[in-house]
Amino acid sequence: MAQQAYVTETDGGGSGPERRETRLRRLTDRFKGRPASGWRNDPRIWRRGLVVAACALLLALVMLLHAKIPNAIGNLGSLTETFLPWLGVFVPLLLLLALVRRSATALIAVLVPAVVWLNIFGGLLSDKTGAGGDLMVATHNVNAENPDPAGTARDVAASGADVLALEELTAAAVPAYEKALAPTYRYHSVQGTVGLWSKYPLSGVKPVDIKLGWTRAMRASVSTPAGRVAVYVAHLPSVRVKLEAGFTARQRDKSADALGEAIADDPVGKVVLLGDLNGTMNDRALNAITAQMRSTQGASGSGMGFSWPTSFPLARIDQIMVKGIEPMSSWSLPATASDHLPLAARVKVDTSSP
């Protein structure tokens, strides 16, 4: 009762400094074990927050075992893998809840998904870009509804890329792209809705059958000063997230398998793949491609390198991948009138030289 009277009297009157001193004393008392609701000497800190702790452990399991999530129901596994990096957003949220609940159990549990996320994606946060490289490549899904094809072409050409791939070309817009890129690129070929522009001679140009019934992929040999390179340009089918069907990607998956088979059978040992794959490197559906190629972003980039949508990039579905070639640096180019960001990379074709 004496303590209660003291608090009431102090709160109800006294000068400003006295009231501040009282509030400070209350705060310090909590960390000294007085009153008993503080963290120290409170056995409930281990019993509180069990739900938060369980959610943290479940989050860690989803990230750690994402490859085990079945695709049988709405391609749930692929959907999870597409947005896997964003699961890390839940870690600070769970940490905040653990602090609000004053739960030591929850705080310790939150460390588990934090460590798992850093183990998977921590390497992407460091800057792995290096100097050198003897070939610069770029890729851009220009968007079929692009209102300024000529401006978009000039923007990506200004990057200085030696080899440039464009996807989602329309027959009506192709002349605008060709005219705008002609001063920079002497050689080019358009196959269906994809095209390749190069400062170096092209040979063996042909469409690649990715089981669609129309052309959305092509292959060409580029005679670079550092050696011959097989360059593939591809735009895999789009995926959809539907309430009744989940993540629908059957056609994309079928095309990915066909593209992976074509790359595996290519007689040239040095291969570059440029394009919009409508999938991330974590998506198991792209294994036919990713199992034999390296992403320039993961090997020589900085950050996540999300490329779509331009307004708020959520995923890296546009890719620059290599086989038998050393990636040196990878980065995103400034936004154009498209809904995708263009990507660029410098690679080392002649891997025999230092």
pLDDT digit string (tens) for 204-215? 999 999 999 999
Query: Between residues 255 and 72, which one has the greater pLDDT?
Result: 255
Rounded to whole angstroms, what are the CA distances from 301 to 81, 286, 297, 350? Answer: 20, 20, 4, 20
Q: Is the pLDDT of residue 178 over 90?
A: yes
Give residue 41's pLDDT: 65
Contacts of 270 (CB under 8 A, 6+ apart): 227, 228, 229, 230, 323, 324, 325, 349
**Burial class (CB within 10 angstroms; exposed 0-12, middle 13-18, buried 19+) of 335:** middle
What is the average pLDDT value for the chain, to the nearest integer?
88
Are 110 and 95 in contact, with CB atoms under 8 Å apart? yes
User: What's the pTM?
Assistant: 0.83
Distance, CA of 152 to CA of 148 (rounded, Å): 6
Is it the case that residue 36 has pLDDT exceeding 70?
Answer: no
Which among 239, 175, 230 is positioned nearest to 206, based on CA atoms? 230
Q: Residue 126's pLDDT is what?
A: 82
pLDDT digits (tens, 9 = 90+) for 133-160: 999 999 999 999 999 999 999 999 999 9
- Hey, what domains does the chain have and what are their CATH numbers? 2-125 (no CATH), 135-348 (3.60.10.10)
SS3 state of residue 7: helix
pLDDT tens digits, 99-121: 999 999 999 999 999 999 999 99
Q: Which residues contact 118 (CB under 8 A, 6 or more apart)?
A: none
CA gap 211, 225 in Å, rounded: 34
